[in-house]
Structure 1
Amino acid sequence: MQMRKNLNRALRLQAFSILCLLGLAACGGSDDDGQMGGNEAAIVVGCVVDEASFSSAIEAVGTAYADEQTVLTAPVTERIERLYFNDGERVSEGAVIAQLSRGEESADLAAIEARARQAQQQLDRLEELSDRGFATRASLEEQIAARDAARADASAIRSRIGDRVIRAPFSGVLGLRTISEGAIVNAGSPIATLSDISRIKLDFTVPEQFLSSIEEGQPIEATAAAYPSELFRGQIDTIDPVVDPLSRSVTVRAVLPNPERRLRPGMLLSVDVVSEERRSLAVPETALIAQGDQQFVFRIDENGIARRTAIETGLRQDGQVEVLGGLQAGDRIVADGTVKVRDDSPVSANFPEETRRSGGGGGVGSGLEASGP
């Protein structure tokens, strides 16, 4: 009998415990959306939409080329009689670089010039005889032709002798000498490399989507690994009219002044194409919500309610995103804490910049603090 009483008491205690647990669960129930405390405002950091400076900087890597460069070669197979330059020497336009042997051509020229003089003397005698009526017109014309032929032969020999004197076609710097006097060179053999590096041509490629951001005369800045702390400035000279169909990029040529000859052909340079700076509306990157190819932010209305708003974005720079549409200056948005916010829900936003301007503390404001001005 006593055992039955103890069992009944234990069952009553167990049933009472279950009822208490059910009551506690009912007291802490959720709202219709299944969210605990559905009417509570999410605590976030806000900001006021304002303007910021943006500039389109296109980064690329380019190769330096001489303003003018050529390899001076031997026009004929001949022996080098004399060289008139040293390694790395600067020369002016028209300066003699090398002279090939021309002994045979000089002898031929002397013989032809003697024949031309003789033909001229014979012509003079025939002209005297013709004036007195003792020479025919045919003989006179034949002697004129002989004289002109001798003169043409002499001009040809002089041209061949001129080919054996190699001159600089423009002012520049000669490369390292790899040949010596007395060597026999074949036609087309290199004798010296001449480079004009008073200016440097810098070729680089940019993707086709940046074509609208570049134009001739646009300034650029370049840096070289050899001079990491030095900035070289120039401007775009030419834009290739053809886009590479494989890489979908276009070649751009810029020109950089190089009065101290610090830049050399073949160097690799990092390039920044500087575009005109502009001021546009901006929001922090942390405020963006990406959905597919669209961007959204939470705009806080005058009642402290967060409204999801689609915006059109532009450049990204220094943690800021350019806003091209969807917001106006002075709009208040959720800058940080978007993961805690639902569309059309209340928020309690703290605006650090307004707090600093007012000299107040950095506490979190209420829903009213997020209202409009």
Structure 2
Amino acid sequence: MEPLQRRMTIMLCGVFLLLGLIFAFNQLKTFMIKHFIAGMGLPPATVSTLVIANAEWQPKLTSVGNVRAFRGVELSTEIGGLVQTVPIKSGQDVKEGELLIKLNDASDVAQLNSLKAMSDLAKVINERDRQQLAIQAISKNVFDTSAADSKSKQAQVEQQTALVAKKNLKAPFSGRVGIVSINPGQYVNPGDKLLTLQTLDPIFVDFNLPQNNAELIQVGQEVEVTTDAFKDASFTGKITAVSPKVDSNTRNIQVEAQLANPDKKILPGMFANVNIKLGDQVKYLTLPQTAVTYNPYGSTIFIAKPTGKKDKQGNPALEAQQVFVTTGLTRGDQVAILKGVDEGATVVTSGQLKLKNGMPLIINNKVQPANSPDPKPQE
């Protein structure tokens, strides 16, 4: 029995020794793999970069508004009648007092001539009575009656003259007429809208600004206006009025600006983009907005920091370093950096979402993100 027990003991010891060797080998292998991976470091990331520099910005307020004619009205007649002549054409520029539409006034003119004749007769009779009163050939009562009759007849003439004038629709001010859809022979009723008349030079732009900007605006300030209709053109003008009242619903204040429009390109009703210049130009460090990562705990960027070593190509090796920055105003594709980075630093502009502190960088600037202060929509 003793030899059997000895063999069993030797066998168990051998099994435990084998298991121990296997466990030790696995532990050593895991340690060696971790050590090898740690020695390799983080894999490099390909990014695009930009050297941050100062740019001059014009402080300004922006808003959108509507174009309004300097003077604009829908013309109609006070009385009805048949249209006799329309001496104007669609889109024609007219002067103040120029005839636009003439209604048939033949019967009214005839009535006016009759009243003028009666008025002239009443004046002659009154003058004759004046002479007879001077020699006391008639009583004062007869003279007063003829004088009153003369004045009455003259008033009737003036009333009929005003009626005839109402049959002639004239331009109340200089401007451009709209589409003429009235034709001779057409009957119009009192109050019917017959024509639109707009003064296009100068022209107004109405826009709104938040109440907290009220102290920044004043009459005489320069504005720059652009429209979608003329993408490559801008129009300058000045603020002519600021509403003395703030809208209680929107808390906005209405502002009126006047622009010169000699070519009459800008038309009433157009949508307008308004920029109001505030003081002199200032310098800001600027970056593409895509270079900044916005987080609840703050805005960050990555800087390409030299490590002091060389890469495989012999160039200075770079690694990512995350820094917090304070951002300011935005303009187009750009954002102003107020604090957190110095001029001349190399900043990662794209590919930063995959970066970590200390990660090696490979720079590829063949493709850069949009970085225009005044981007234009692509056709």
Calculate the TM-score normalised by the size of structure 2. Answer: 0.66
What residue number does 2:273 align with?
Answer: 271
1:322 aligns with 2:336: yes
Question: Post-superposition shift, 1:179?
Answer: 1.9
What residue number does 1:202 align with?
Answer: 205
8 Å contact kept, 1:207–1:250:
yes
User: Structure 2 regions of 5+ residues with no counterpart?
Assistant: 304-320, 364-379
Which letter maps to 1:166?
L
1:15 aligns with 2:20: yes
1:222 aligns with 2:226: yes
Question: Post-superposition shift, 1:273?
Answer: 1.0
1:190 aligns with 2:229: no
| Cα 1:309/1:8, change in 2 over 3 Å | closer
Q: Of 45, 69, 79, which residue of structure 2 is paired with 1:66? A: 69
8 Å contact kept, 1:57–1:272:
no
1:113 aligns with 2:116: yes
What residue number does 2:318 align with?
Answer: none
Question: Post-superposition shift, 1:259?
Answer: 2.6
What residue number does 1:151 align with?
Answer: 154
Please provide the CA RMSD for this pair.
4.7
Cα deviation digits, residues 115-149 of structure 1 (max 9, x gap): 32222222223222332233333333332222222
8 Å contact kept, 1:106–1:161:
yes
1:82 aligns with 2:96: no
8 Å contact kept, 2:83–2:187:
yes
What residue number does 1:366 align with?
Answer: none
| Cα 1:249/1:294, change in 2 over 3 Å | farther
User: Structure 1 regions of 5+ residues with no counterpart?
Assistant: 30-35, 300-306, 342-346, 353-373
Q: Which is further off, 154-163 or 326-335?
A: 326-335
Instruction: Determine helix, strand or coil for the equivalent of 2:194.
Output: strand
Alpha-carbon distance between aligned partners in 1 of 2:96 and 2:20, rounded to the nearest angstrom: 112
| Cα 1:316/1:197, change in 2 over 3 Å | closer
| Cα 1:25/1:349, change in 2 over 3 Å | closer
Question: Post-superposition shift, 1:265?
Answer: 3.1
Aligned pairs (5 A) from 1:129-148: 129-148=132-151
Calculate the TM-score normalised by the size of structure 1. Answer: 0.67
Instruction: Determine helix, strand or coil for the equivalent of 1:202.
Output: strand
Instruction: Determine helix, strand or coil for the equivalent of 2:234.
Output: strand
8 Å contact kept, 1:96–1:166:
yes
Aligned pairs (5 A) from 1:224-243: 224-225=228-229, 227-228=230-231, 230-238=232-240, 241=243, 242-243=245-246
| Cα 1:21/1:53, change in 2 over 3 Å | farther
Q: Of 153, 157, 173, which residue of structure 1 is paired with 2:176? A: 173
Alpha-carbon distance between aligned partners in 2 of 1:332 and 1:77, rounded to the nearest angstrom: 78
Alpha-carbon distance between aligned partners in 1 of 2:207 and 2:106, rounded to the nearest angstrom: 50
Alpha-carbon distance between aligned partners in 2 of 1:107 and 1:319, rounded to the nearest angstrom: 73
8 Å contact kept, 2:62–2:276:
no
Instruction: Determine helix, strand or coil for the equivalent of 1:128.
Output: helix
Alpha-carbon distance between aligned partners in 1 of 2:185 and 2:343, rounded to the nearest angstrom: 83
| Cα 1:330/1:261, change in 2 over 3 Å | closer
